[in-house]
Amino acid sequence: MAGTRGAESFFHQRINASTVIIRASITTLKRRSPQVATFLAMASSGSRRLIGLSTKMYFSLARSRDFTSSLVSQLGSVPSHALSRIDVFILPDFIALPTTVSQLRASDSPASTIIWPGAQDCHWEDQGAFTGQVSASVLQEAGARIVMVGHAERRRLFGEDDILVAKKAAAVTRNGMVPLVCVGEQTRAGEESSDSGDGTAAAVRQCAVQVDTVLETLPATTEVILAYEPVWAIGATQPAGVEHILSVVEGIRTLESVRSRSGVTRIVYGGSAGPGLFARLKSGLDGLFLARFGHDPVQFVRTIREVAEA
């Protein structure tokens, strides 16, 4: 019996030692190779929660650098078991993206490996005479891992429609990155909506057109993130109601274009999102897309912990 226990103890020690070596090797590979880091993150992302933000056009270059440094530093205080459950994305402007990528690659903190740098938009072609535009291929070369398309502000200010958003999402996927596709109804049910029937059903119908148009252009095996952002809730003092959010997201998940996919499809909520919200949404969502509240790195990390530990 004593011999058996000794053998078991020796066996477990060898297993634990091997686990430590494997984890250390993976960490080293992530730091030395951005491609390996991307592969490892995406390979396991289906079971991970997701939280992120866009800096829009609020940050100077100096503020972008300070934000990234502070974020990595403060994430170091988050328990490793919590970090292992979550992916974090930050979407700086085009000019700040290369610096953000360099900061993350140069960091020795394990926390930096869960942060996906990305972009707020892209062109739908990989090259051509498109003055002032930035292609998805260049963003990928610069180190982006995720690109947002279809934000309500771009639809409103630049006239982007579902077809154009789908072309951009296809460009992102074609270049090996993950599209973050913004969808959401225009008006609040019961106030300005001209749709007949229940407000939630009307919202799902509007979102369904947006989702279907994008997903029919993407290979079913690729990863995609859907950001449900009711347009009327963007910039509002309060997010949409919890029951409304959960009902609309459930409706999106039941769409044939979503159910038929074999690739990872995560859905996050945006639209005045902040601390305390995810605990009420965790039964139906995969994470949050924060607004300006997240531009304070202290509050951002606070919300990251909430999402990871909820």
Decide: 48 and 86 in contact? Cβ < 8 Å: yes
- C-alpha to C-alpha distance for 6 and 12, rounded to whole angstroms: 10
List 151, 185, 244, 306, catalytic entry = 151
| Rounded Cα distance, 260 and 249, in Å | 16
- β-pairing, 49-54 with 146-149? unpaired
Q: Is 185 a catalytic residue?
A: no
CA distance 287 to 298: 18
Per the CB < 8 A criterion, the answer to whether 192 and 239 are in contact is no
Residue type at position 249: V
- Start-to-end Cα distance in the chain: 43
Question: Which among 160, 223, 229, 306 is annotated as catalytic?
Answer: 229
Distance CA(196)–CA(293), nearest Å, equals 34
- Whether 229 is catalytic is yes
3-state secondary structure 108-162: CCHHHHHEEEEECCCECCCCCCCCCCCEHHHHHHHCCCEEEECCHHHHHHHCCCH
Question: H-helix or E-strand containing 149?
Answer: strand 146-149
Active site residues: 151, 229
